[in-house]
Structure 1
Amino acid sequence: MPKMLSLSELQRAADDVAEGSDVAIKRLLEAGTGWLGGARPKASVSGDGGSLMIAKFSRSTDERNVIGWEALALELAKRAKISLPRTHLLSVEGRPVLVLYRFDRLIGHRVGYISAMTASGLRDGEPADYLDIVEAVEDVSRQWRIDCAALFRRVAFSVAIHNTDDHLRNHGFLRAEAGWELSPAFDINPEPDLAVRRQTAINGVTDADYEAEALLDLAPLCHLSVAAARDILGEIVEAVVHWRDLVFAMSIASAEKESVGSVIDIQLGRIRDVFRRPL
């Protein structure tokens, strides 16, 4: 078990790391950050009753409220019926900190977990497609039809908020009694630049201009009828369209509301166009 430090200490250490402090790096490694991966500073922290959580910190150099937007995205994902870990958005010395309960840990023992990269047999740097994850679901999941539908819902949500950091290590499987099942979703962030392509293609498509249409091509490969896929798209739109209601609660500045929010509105419009087309 890594050494547990206070969130204030960890936030200060994360700031010092950005300035090149070797001491701060050591403190974060002691707290478990080195085990967790990803681009943002984070650490293992202990919750009530011994539960294990991950704390994700902002950087002093962040040009926008990345943590606030991730918290907003997770709340929208919950409203869109996507399985998620429990989360809390905290303010630590005036800075946002996102705390997530670890779904691969139960008090007293570890739950088996593999990434979609491991399950698909691919490696870092190799091109990937959601079809690779669908095949992995079909190969390993004990409830593969349910998980394929859940995966489609997640892809549609990522399109709606323009989440492009969707590489295969940001999807995974948890060990269940009778096999594996799709893990809760995590690392979901809106990307404010529509020109940024997603890291995992949707049936060959990585460009935001064509992702909504690619969803309908993906649907039958996820064992969904066109009608079922459109129902899911409608639910995604209904959940995400109310994103403005959450901006104040996440302490997101008005300027960011327009710059990031305009991308979400554009993506929602594209999805609406697709699911409203006659069968």
Structure 2
Amino acid sequence: KMAGSSGGARPKILTTIDDKNWIIKFASQYDADDIGLQEYKYSMCAKRCGIEMTETRLFKSNTCDGYFGTTRFDRENNRDNIHVATVSAILEADFQAPCLDYNDLFKLTRILTRENNNEIENMFRRMCFNVFAHNRDDHAKNFSFMYDEKLDKWKLSPAYDLTYSNTYWGEHTTSVDGNGKNPGVKELISVGMKAGLKKGRCKDIIEEISEKVQEDLGKYIKDSTR
């Protein structure tokens, strides 16, 4: 196992496979042996929950359950760069400590996407997934926006770095309506309605994602001390 790098907590390589640009991650010295399989299962569940992600794959290994890989979203036709900005960069927010609330992310989403309801709902799905799937490493660098030069507009980038995670402070790095320790349905609905979503729609999405996360990821989240 290796240590991480400036590119993230886990070591990784950039490579081209079948004319696609891939990021393949390896376990750090602090990771569980099944971290690659776990992140792959999280990615598949997220897609089932209506969260956009790029192509993901579990690469075979002789020493572990496999290595998680994902194609890059910041390249067009695998060559031209697409302008991507993290929330950390846009807001000059410290990604190493809790400093944001999901209300802040929704305000930014509404401004950058010009009140695009699909993008607002997309952010709501990610918030719900992070809460139900126990992804507490939801810091300001793990949310990004992409600029479409032809249409002159911003949209949320595909989701990334979705996996089971705890934090040093025992809370979500991004709080949910002021609650970082144990946010639930009440806080999720409050944030969604403040962002302009209907209460009924919020409830439907919450129920959908909660059920799918339990079905697909129950083994990872049943013990929060894992």
| TM bracket, shorter-chain basis | 0.7 to 0.9
Q: Work out the CA distance in 2 between the residues paired with 1:200 and 1:143.
A: 22
Are residues 228 and 102 of structure 1, via their aligned partners in 2, closer, same or farther at CA, if it must alter by over 3 Å? same
Q: Work out the CA distance in 2 between the residues paired with 1:172 and 1:199.
A: 16
Partner of 2:82: 111
2:177 pairs with one of 203, 208, 231: 203
1:213 pairs with one of 161, 164, 186: 186
| Farther-moved stretch of structure 1 (229-238 vs 80-89) | 229-238
Q: Work out the CA distance in 2 between the residues paired with 1:92 and 1:80.
A: 28
Taking structure 1 as the reference length, the TM-score comes to 0.71
| 1:188 match: secondary structure | coil
Deviations 1:185-221, CA, capped at 9 Å, x for gaps: 110111379x82100011111012x333210111112
Segments of 5+ residues of structure 1 without an aligned counterpart are 1-14, 19-24, 26-32, 248-256, 265-279
Q: Work out the CA distance in 2 between the residues paired with 1:61 and 1:167.
A: 19
2:26 is the alignment partner of 1:62? no
Deviations 1:126-145, CA, capped at 9 Å, x for gaps: 61111221121122115632
1:79 pairs with one of 43, 48, 51: 48
Partner of 2:204: 231
1:179 pairs with one of 153, 157, 169: 153
| 1:206 match: secondary structure | coil
2:12 pairs with one of 42, 66, 69: 42
| 2:222 match: secondary structure | helix
| 2:172 match: secondary structure | coil
2:134 is the alignment partner of 1:162? yes
Judging by fraction of residues, say which structure has more helix.
1
2:87 is the alignment partner of 1:127? no
| 1:92 match: secondary structure | coil
Q: Work out the CA distance in 1 between the residues paired with 2:30 and 2:8.
A: 17
Segments of 5+ residues of structure 2 without an aligned counterpart are none
Partner of 1:8: none
Conserved 8 A contact 1:192-1:263: no
Are residues 140 and 235 of structure 1, via their aligned partners in 2, closer, same or farther at CA, if it must alter by over 3 Å? same
Conserved 8 A contact 1:120-1:135: no
Over the matched positions of the two proteins, sequence identity in percent amounts to 26
Are residues 240 and 123 of structure 1, via their aligned partners in 2, closer, same or farther at CA, if it must alter by over 3 Å? closer
2:59 is the alignment partner of 1:99? no
Conserved 8 A contact 1:142-1:181: no
Q: Work out the CA distance in 2 between the residues paired with 1:167 and 1:192.
A: 12
Q: Work out the CA distance in 1 between the residues paired with 2:103 and 2:192.
A: 11
Matched residue count: 218
2:206 is the alignment partner of 1:262? no
| 1:98 match: secondary structure | strand
Q: Work out the CA distance in 1 between the residues paired with 2:129 and 2:98.
A: 24
Taking structure 2 as the reference length, the TM-score comes to 0.87
Which structure's CA Rg is the greater one?
A: 1
| 1:53 match: secondary structure | strand
Q: Work out the CA distance in 2 between the residues paired with 1:93 and 1:224.
A: 47
Which AA in structure 1 matches 2:69? V
